[in-house]
Structures are given as C-alpha cells and as structure tokens.
A and B are shown apart, each in its own frame.
Chain A
Amino acid sequence: MSRTIVVTSGKGGVGKTTSTANLGMALARLGRKVVLVDADFGLRNLDLLLGLENRVVYTALEVIARECKLDQALVKDKRQPNLSLLAAPQTRNKTAITAAHMKALVEVLSRHFDYVLVDCPAGIETGFQNAIAGAKEAIIVTTPEISAVRDADRVIGLLEANRIKDIKLILNRLRPAMVKNNDMMSVEDVLEILSVKLIGVIPEDEQVIVSTNKGEPLVLAEKLSLAGEAYDNTAKRLDGIEVEFMDFTAANNSIFARFGRWLRGNP
C-alpha cells in the first residue's frame, strides 16, 4: 500500500525541503522505494539539498505536457537507488499546471513507489492547492516561533477542509537551552496549541547548513549529527517503527544528571 504525503508549513524557511530530503533519504535507507516530488514550481530547491541538481534533465512540467515519459524525468539517486526525485520546473510559466495534473501525477507515481513525498511551496495559494491535491496524508513542519505556529494552524485548517485528516507534526529548530530558560516554546507548548500528532522533534543544528552546502542529507553521514539522528528517528516513526523521542535537554547530560541516573540504576 503506497502512501502519498505532502510536506507543508504555510510559512517559508521553517525546513520543509530539508525535512522532505532527509525523510525521503532515511525511508529509502529503510528499504522503502521513495519518490520525492518538488511542487515548488518556479523556485525549486529540493534537487540542491539532495545534490542532484546536475542530473535534472526533465521536470514535472515536461511530464505533464507529455514532452517526456515519467521515468525519463525521474532522477535516481546513485548513493541510494531506492530514492528518486521528480524536480520542479525553474521557469515562471507555472500557471499551466493545475491541481488535476498534480493529482494524476501523484496517482501514477504511487503505483510504482512505497512513498510519494510532495514538497509543498510556502504560502496557501495555487501552489499549495496543487501540492496537496494528490496527498492522503500531511506532515506539517513548524518551528517554535509565533508566526510559524500561526501559519501551521492555518494550514492544518485548510488541510482538514480539503479532507486530509491524517496530519502529523515535525517541530524543527528546537533550542532546548532557550526552552529551559523560558525563552522558547517547548514541544508540549506547541502540541497544546496545535493539537496534532507529533512525529518528530529536530533540534537546531549547524550541521544542517553544512549538509546543505554539500548536497548530502544529514541522514547520509557516517556519524549522525543530533539533527540527523532526529530525522532518522522521525522516518522510522513514519514507517511504523516505535522510537522514543530524544531528550535534548543539556541538563540531561550533565554530570549530576548522569550520577542521578546511575543511582537509579539506569545510566
């Protein structure tokens, strides 16, 4: 049974594309056949985060216009053959694409892949409507900031109105030290406000920028960074594997906390 999931957020810059790239790669490493669809027509970025920009020949636009076959447009990742990318056109002529096109495209892809992950553009206009057209599930990416949470709430409402009920949340760029000082909303705070199911918490991590620079998703690193491990765990949860949420609180690794746990017999 194939799953079609749209990754969306409302607000831009909260980590939709980073999340799509890492979840896709991690799922592929779990042995799933995954295709990532960049629905950000005109402003494509997913190919960059995956390091596949030089291999994009055809895009979703040519497929829809029947100028090429679907498998000609799919870029297969050489590092991980289970992962494919359908890039977005970088032209401005994006008005030619309708929700019906996207729905048909996702439908065809779902026959050949276990997971179809659609990377949604920011905003709630036509691009958003197109991106969600073929999806049965949604992953909302947000950060613990007022504007990101507000936009996430708006998007959740729109998804529900479009009959997408299976909605899961990734809380990105959490800074545990700031939460501890009561200067940032905690995971619980955001969940209380948005009332959706949590599937991942990603800590703020400089390695995200390093991985973007290199075009190598975090989950590909030999020694996983904190964010890489968090994405790996998120992908496992998405695939139905129970994984405990990581504890990022700095205090948790202090010598006193370790001593306390040692006293209680679980170091």
Chain B
Amino acid sequence: MIITEFLERLFSGQKTDSRGQVKQRLKFILAHDRAALTPKMLEDMRNEILAVVSKYVELDEDGLDVTLESDNRMTALIANLPIRKVRNPVTEEEPSAVVEAIIE
C-alpha cells in the first residue's frame, strides 16, 4: 500500500495530460483551502520542523519537501526530509556542555 502510494507520487509528476494536471492542482489547492493556513504560517511551521529535525540528523537541503495533501476530506501535512547522515551523539553533547558552562 505504502509502496504503491510512493510509486504513484514518484510518477505523478510525469502526468502531462490536462486531466492529470487539473487533479494535481486541485488536490494541492484544496489541501490549502481546507487547512486555512496562510503561506506565512506554513513557512514558519516548515522552518520550525526543520530546526527540530536538524538537531538529530543532517538533512539534504535540496530534497526537502513539506506540503499539505488532502484525501477523503482529511488534510495531512506530508514532509519528505531526506537524511544525509545522523549527527554524532558526541558532537551533540559538546554545545550543550558549552551552554551549561556559560550558565554556571
């Protein structure tokens, strides 16, 4: 199920007939209409999500994709965040150690 959906998403960009195009455009615009999120709110949310995730993993900036999708009158936030590498736990501790030192 997930695989077919993934394949669909992968190939949906290749739909060139106007019927496929209008469906894609509608799904996109309706997801935004239904969520009633302003582009500013969506952008802020995206940045905050990225900041949180980036604490643990290094993301591939070029492959990032955060969008809204709608299905069966339910709207979902779909985030595709390709991971370049997991951050080393040791390097994670270093800054916090520094912070602690400053606070003390």
Contact = CB atoms under 8 A, between A and B. Distances in A.
B29 A150 contact: yes
A102 B34 CA distance: 28
Interface residues of B, number: 15
Interface stretch (A52-60, A66-74, A83-91, A182-190): A182-190
A146 B25 contact: yes
Which of A186, A189, A193: most chain B Cβ within 10 A? Answer: A193
A183 B33 contact: no
Contact of B27 (A157, A184, A186, A193): A193
B18 A193 contact: no
B17 A189 contact: no
Interface residues of A, number: 16
Interface string A140-164: 0000011001100110010000000
Nearest to B23: A189
Interface string A184-201: 111001000101000000
Interface in B21-67: 22-23, 25-27, 29-30, 33-34
A179 interface: yes
A184 B27 CA distance: 15
Nearest to A151: B33
A157 B26 contact: no
B31 to A, nearest CB: 10
Contacts, number: 38
A169 to B, nearest CB: 13
Secondary structure of the B side of the interface?
helix
Given A149-B26, A183-B19, A195 B73 contact: yes
B30 A179 contact: no
B19 A193 contact: no
Interface in A57-101: none
Which of B25, B27, B30: most chain A Cβ within 10 A? Answer: B30
Secondary structure of the A side of the interface?
helix
A195 B72 contact: yes
A146 B26 contact: yes
A43 B1 CA distance: 51
B27 A183 contact: no
A182 B23 CA distance: 11
Nearest to B72: A195
A153 B20 contact: no
Given A150-B30, A153-B33, A153-B34, A183 B18 contact: yes
Contacts of A179: 19
Contacts of A193: 23, 26-27, 30
Contact of B30 (A145, A153, A184, A189): A153
17 contacts: A145-B22, A146-B22, A146-B26, A150-B29, A150-B30, A150-B33, A157-B34, A182-B18, A182-B19, A183-B17, A184-B19, A185-B19, A189-B19, A189-B23, A193-B23, A193-B27, A195-B72
Interface of A: 145-146, 149-150, 153-154, 157, 179, 182-186, 189, 193, 195
Interface of B: 17-20, 22-23, 25-27, 29-30, 33-34, 72-73
Across the A-B interface, the 6 shortest Cβ-Cβ residue pairs: A182-B17, A182-B19, A195-B73, A195-B72, A183-B18, A146-B22
Given A157-B33, A195-B72, 12 more contacts: A146-B22, A146-B26, A149-B26, A154-B33, A179-B19, A182-B18, A182-B20, A183-B18, A184-B18, A184-B19, A189-B19, A195-B73
